[in-house]
Chain A
Amino acid sequence: DGGITQSPKYLFRKEGQNVTLSCEQNLNHDAMYWYRQDPGQGLRLIYYSQIVNDFQKGDIAEGYSVSREKKESFPLTVTSAQKNPTAFYLCASSANGGRQGGTEAFFGQGTRLTVV
């Protein structure tokens, strides 16, 4: 089936650890996004990438890092520098990002990260 797969669904992190959230898509989309969602709040953009080997910071990039070595993959690392990482993380992709006539964005089912 075509779509976006996020793994794992649930993730527990100890204080001071780095963890990596996986996002894979087989839709042949150029653009990929990472969002963070906290209870009662909207989605906030962490990082986005509109093409392989290129990515830009979103509104809350501090304490996070990404890579885009392959078109289908956009992993997010939550580093120990992120002071409040407990949240619901969502990955999305779209065919041509912000270019004119941009197409639908599709989302994965999310990863819930908890610091223990």
Chain B
Amino acid sequence: KQEVTQIPAALSVPEGENLVLNCSFTDSAIYNLQWFRQDPGKGLTSLLLIQSSQREQTSGRLNASLDKSSGRSTLYIAASQPGDSATYLCAPLGGATNKLIFGTGTLLAVQP
């Protein structure tokens, strides 16, 4: 059964800092991995999708890497802003279960 762990569970940083969010998963036989953002009381917004054949994907100030063999992905946020405050979730897709499985997320607070 795929299990997904995200570290840290919560993070508070001053505006302007660069930061790294970590995601690990137990079943490395995945097709892709997706990073999402969730604002309080809202649905999930897709940030980045990394295919299993890729090692990195970038969108603006966000960069996500994937090391499938070690079961790890990281989300790098450059020059953080208060508007980045949200919960960030990773979800590998596929593997033995062929489902989209989520970690518990990292709650990020960026202080002005």
Contacts and interface: CB of A to CB of B under 8 A. Distances in A.
Interface of A: 6, 33, 35, 41-45, 48, 50, 58, 88, 90, 92, 94, 97-110, 112
Given A90-B43, A108-B43, A110-B42, 15 more contacts: A33-B99, A42-B4, A42-B104, A42-B105, A45-B99, A45-B100, A45-B101, A48-B99, A94-B100, A98-B98, A98-B99, A102-B93, A105-B34, A105-B93, A107-B46
B37 to A, nearest CB: 11
B49 A104 contact: yes
Contacts, number: 67
Interface in B77-112: 89, 91, 93-94, 98-105
Interface of B: 4, 31-32, 34, 36, 41-46, 49, 51, 89, 91, 93-94, 98-105
Given A90-B44, A109-B43, A100 B31 contact: yes
Given A43-B89, A107-B44, A109-B43, A102 B94 contact: yes
Given A42-B89, A90-B43, A107-B43, A101 B31 contact: yes
A105 B102 contact: no
B31 A99 contact: yes
Residue with the greatest number of chain A CB neighbours at <10 A, chosen from B36, B45, B103: B36
Nearest to B42: A109
B51 A101 contact: yes
Given A42-B105, A108-B43, A98 B51 contact: no
A19 B56 CA distance: 43
A11 B77 CA distance: 36
Contacts of A41: 104
A59 B31 CA distance: 20
B46 A106 contact: yes
B46 A98 contact: no
Contact of A92 (B94, B100, B101): B100
A103 B49 contact: yes
B93 A42 contact: no
A48 B93 CA distance: 13
